[in-house]
Amino acid sequence: MRLLLVEDNRSLAASVARAFRSKGYAVDAVETVDDAGAALGTQPYDLLILDLGLPDGDGLDVVRRLRQRKSRLPVLVLTARASLQSRVAGLNLGADDYLIKPFALEELEARAGALIRRGVGGGGAVVTHGRLALDTAGRVATIDGAPLDLPRRELCLLELLLLRAGQVVEKHVLLEKLFSYDDEAGVNAIEIYVHRLRKKLEPAGIRVRTVRGLGYLLENP
């Protein structure tokens, strides 16, 4: 999953980005309304985490433009504006959640995870597939209840395939979701991660099939 973080406090942005990357998410971080608009215009995201007091304008303008374009991208506002009026204004413009600074990273991660699950059509934190279960909140995969040793990118790859089980996930989509702007990666990297994940799933009868010229499909059990 890929997140866009819009926050001009660099220390805070670094902490938030580090926390989400440790969970397997790809994170792009920008500091202005203009840069947020440019990123959203060129890259599909699974969640927008948005500060409101930005150097070149109000973050609510980003929400307004998104909703005017009929985008359903989940938006989590992260701001020091604690008044009821500010919260109501943000939610009325189309923000999905509103978290006041200072905040606990654990709460931010939980709220973000809930919005992402809702955005991909889920809702429950645990997704099952045959003998496989993925706790998308706890970021743990198990087979028959036994933890599966998956580094963060393999875990994210599994999540992408699992949430679209029975459907082909194109290589370019995996590339977009697994890596941020700062990562140097190509299609070969995707093939390596799929190969590693496949070796760990096949003993449980779970098969990741290559669809030539398109991408990969997690076969229904």
Residues 190 and 162 placed together within one structural domain of the fold: yes
Amino acid at 126: V
Query: pLDDT digits over 1-51, tens only?
Result: 899 999 999 999 999 999 999 888 899 999 999 999 999 998 889 999 999
Same domain, 8 and 100: yes
Instruction: Write the CB contacts of 198 (distance below 8 Å, at least 6 apart in sequence).
Output: 207, 208
What pLDDT does 168 receive?
94
Number of C-alpha atoms within 13 angstroms, CB side, residue 191? 7
Work out the burial of residue 9: count CB atoms within 10 Å of its CB; fewer than 13 is exposed, 13-18 middle, 19 or more buried: middle
Q: Which of 90, 119, 148 is the last residue of a domain?
A: 119
Q: What's the pLDDT tens digit per position in 67-91?
A: 999 998 999 999 888 888 888 888 8
Of 82, 99, 119, the residue at which a domain comes to its end is 119
* Sequence-separated contacts (24+) of 119-126 with Cβ below 8 Å: 119/46, 119/47, 119/72, 119/73, 119/74, 120/46, 120/163, 121/163, 122/163
pLDDT for res 182? 77
For residue 72, the domain's CATH number is 3.40.50.2300
Stretch 184-196: mean pLDDT, rounded? 87
| Number of domains into which the chain is organized | 2
Does residue 118 or residue 47 have the better pLDDT?
47
Instruction: Provide the token pair at 51.
Output: 């500060």
Residues in the chain: 221
Percent of the chain with pLDDT over 70: 97
